[in-house]
Structure 1
Amino acid sequence: MKQFTQHFSIFIPNHLTTTNNESPLKNSITEYLDKTDSQSSKGKYCFSVKRNGIRKDGKQAQRSPANNQKAALLRPNLHKKVNDPTVSFCFCEDRTREKIDDEILQAWARNNSRIF
């Protein structure tokens, strides 16, 4: 199943052309990505970014393709600023937890010495 979802995740567009009908399409893509990526947080409201841990083989873990695609779709400006594949985006289903890009970046800067 994992190979199946990884293979077909490459066919999901990295960006959408802005139209008046994009919200239902974004919702559908987000729901699909939530179902196919068991490692990524569910939801469409971004509230943080985090450095991924070290894998069992000792290498730095990378952002999943689904997390990357969801961030590029839902938060394109933040996605461009966080140009580090070892950092993942944290999403939730609770709209009240959503943060603006500056809040997320300021929290990252407070907690980390390495800036994007």
Structure 2
Amino acid sequence: MNPGESLEPREFVVTRTDLVRYAETSGDHNPIHQDESVAHSVGLPGVIAHGMYTLALAARAVAEWTDGAEVVDLGCKFTNPVVVPGEHGAHVSVGGTVKSVEDGLVTIALEVTCEGQKVLGMPRAVVRG
């Protein structure tokens, strides 16, 4: 990997079944992730994906790009929800640009979008290369 290199975007479909499985695994059973009426009652446009699930998709893309290199830092701000419609799910895209390669570490700036809207603010990963 070289500074300035664009990494091939990875595409993911998030379904409500994925959210149920994630809730079981993570223990996060907040009903906004599964119940349309509860999501609407708190002002959300619909059922939303867990923020950490969305970040996990970014981590999955990083693992694919780097052949599973050790991730030493991964972070973002949760800026917009991933709304998951019941019928077809949501389409999340993860793109990346290599920002730096130094001292054995590769820093990747990420862009995570859903239906063309950025959903994570300032996402980045640092891997041991």
**Structure 2 length-normalised TM:** 0.27
For the pair shown, which has the larger CA radius of gyration, 1 or 2?
A: 2
Q: Which has the higher helix share?
A: 1
